[in-house]
Each structure stands twice: as C-alpha cells, then as structure tokens.
Amino acid sequence: MHVVVAGQGYVGLPLAVRAAEAGHHVIGYDVDPHRVQQLATGRSYVEDVPSPRLRAVLESGTYSATTAADELAGYDIAVITVPTPLRDGVPDLTYVEACARTLADHLRPGATVILESTTYPGTTEEVVLPILEKTSGLAGTDFRLGFSPERIDPGNKAWPFEKTPKVVSGVDAASLDAIKSFYDGLVETTVPVSSPKVAELTKLLENTFRHVNIALVNEMAILCHELGVNVWEAITAASSKPFGFMRFSPGPGVGGHCLPIDPSYLSWRVERALGQSFRFVELANDINAHMPDYVVRRLVKALNERSMAVRGSRILLLGLAYKADTADARESPSTRVAELLLDLGAEVRGADPHVVDDIRADPRLIRVVATAEEVAAADVVVLLTDHTTFDYGTILEHAPYVLDCRNRLADVNVGLADIDLL
C-alpha cells in the first residue's frame, strides 16, 4: 500500500521504516527540512532506527522523506505522529489539526487515517473527524478513521516497535478492520478495543499509572532520607514479593514527551468535561516537577556541611538525557537542575556521551567529557542519568563527593569518594 507517516520523530520514523520493511511504499512527511535532508542522506537521528537500517529502505525504494505536501496524494494509509505539547497547562493540538487538514487535501474514498499522537479521549472523533470531512468534502462513511496509541520506549532493546502489542481502534467496524489489518502486518500482536476514546484513554492510563507511582517513590525517597532509612534497600526488598508489587525507582524528576505531559491531558479533560479535579495527577505533577529543586537543596546542604557555598563551586552533572543509554533530552530534569544551580552562581558542567546535538538547556551550561581530570576538578559530582558508558570506577576514584540520584554506585567497590544517595 501507499503509506504516509506524518511526523518523522521518535514515533514516526520507527513506524515508517518498519512499514517500508514490510513492503509498503512509505513516504515520511515532516515540515522540518533539516530532518528530511538528514533522512534523505541515510543519517538517522533516532537511536531505535540505526542509519544502516534507514539506508536499506532508502536503497530499496520503499521509503522516502519529503516536506512537500503534494507528494502525499494517492495514499491508502496515513498515520499522524506529530507532537501534542502542553501550552500553559492546556493541550495544544495545533500540529494535529494542521496535519489533518494537509491529509484531508489528499483524502479519497476508501483511504484510512490513523491518529497515533497522544491526546485526550474524544480527539479522534471530535477534532480530527470534522476536519477531514470539512476539508475533503467527504462524509465520514467514505473513509476509515481510528486511533492507535504509540508505545515507543526509546532505547528499549527488549521491546522494540514490532514486539510491543499495538492497541487499535476505529470509528466504525470497517475502520477497525482496516487499521487492525495494517498493524497486523507490522507487529506481532494487535489489541482491538471498542472505540477511539477507549484507545486514547488506554495511553493516558498507562502513563498516568507510571507517573503516579514514580511520584510515590520520589516522595518516599525524600521522607526516608529524613528518617534515616535507605529507600533503595527497601524497594529492592519489596521487589522480592512475587505478587502485588511492581518496582518503581526514585530519581531527579521525570522527562521525555510522555510522563511530564500525558497525565495532564487526562487531568485537563476531566476538569473540562466534568468540572472536577484529578487529584492524583495534580499531586504527582507537583511532586515530580519539584524533584530537581530537591536535588539542588540536597547539594546546597552537602556543600554547606563542607563549609562551601554553591556560588563559585564547580559542579559536574553526569547525564543530560532523561533516560539511561538514550540521547533523548526532551523535558529532562537534568536541564532544570543545571538552571537552578547556575542561578545560584555555581559553575555547572554537563557530561553526556549520548546527547551530542544541541538541547534546550541554559546556555551557561558548559558541555564537557567526564574524564578523570574533569571529575577530579569538580567540587561536586551529581549522577542524574546512569548511562552504562560512564566509567564509574574513575568517578569514584577521583570525585570528592557524589550525589547519586540513581543508586548506580552502590555496587561499584572502587575509590574513596563520599557517596550520598538521593
């Protein structure tokens, strides 16, 4: 089939390449000319799609990338994988709406449009469907439409796109059949649900569950530190229970596109539709959003105990990505920690072997490599993202003091560094 994947980021590119490998003729559409230029030369910027894999589908002719909307004409399947950010706490569907209008210009009877972008329940039928009908002049029964939430987990080798079960839905039976058939050819398992609203809620439920439980252990870590109890040891002990417990670990905050944003979509929808607050989400947002502040407070206290001020201290942050062994720095708590420390007058340096491109960080942050000399020159080292590529033995050998926010150094028996756990 002729497939269009609109949006070639962390979600769209893996989907587009997988569809091309399955034998479809795929056009990756993106409004960013720099991205399209990179893709056209076979250079991938998404870790889950190595450049050799991208070049293979380019050379086979099953995949191409473009910024030209007129090249989308004649599609059988179009998938929307564009960003859905929050603007001042309100869902911003600008990209979804613009993409729907672009696809509607080329919509023909029998074609299928699938929304994958994370959003609130009702978006597919209340926002996308009217745009497609009005712009194309077709009735909703003339084409197929549904929602299938993305479940991309960057850097997860155990659960790549094709192995992760895919929830699918349609606005009617014919739409569900078409969408299920498409994804059946791409993934090992599809999970049909009764409506797009259920599929939309499924995605938000998954991430709200994670968000709330991470907030629980984050608050517990704060309280346990004051109580003098090792929360990490308690979590490990609780994890030995084979039922009724799922392990979540504390950290310096949450990042990526999902956890800082998706639960707020659900909270906003509940408030807008029912006039009620979603208290669990609001509390989790508050706890997780302020974990970078807590990290800084711990550093201020640690320096004070050493008769040092934050102002003028040299602080090395290890890890700028939000997740270990990935280059994804979207909404990373590391950038907030850096900003807070810089505002206090510290000399802040950041090391991350995975994040090589420019990120949305304070321009005062100095990018460095975590060499032995760099570690030794720091007054404080903060492990924010526990990449396996960091040399932890060297860190412990040369760092005078380490605040370990990931419990990564507990089993490294090298060096005499003063280690403090989050």
Q: Give the catalytic positions in this structure.
A: 258
Q: Contact 28/63 with Cβ under 8 angstroms?
A: yes
Beta strands in 125-168 (DSSP E): 144-147, 166-168
What would the DSSP string read from start to end of 228-297? T--HHHHHHHHTT-SSS-------S---TTTTTTHHHHHHHHHHHHHS---HHHHHHHHHHHTHHHHHHH
Maximum CA extent, the chain: 73
**DSSP strand pairing (190-192 vs 166-168):** parallel
Residue of 352, 345, 306, 302 whose CA lies nearest to 328 = 352
Q: In 10 A of CB 398, how many CB atoms?
A: 21
Q: What amino acid is encoded at 101 in this protein?
A: R
Q: Contact 131/98 with Cβ under 8 angstroms?
A: no
The strand pairing partners of 29, in sequence order, are 6, 66
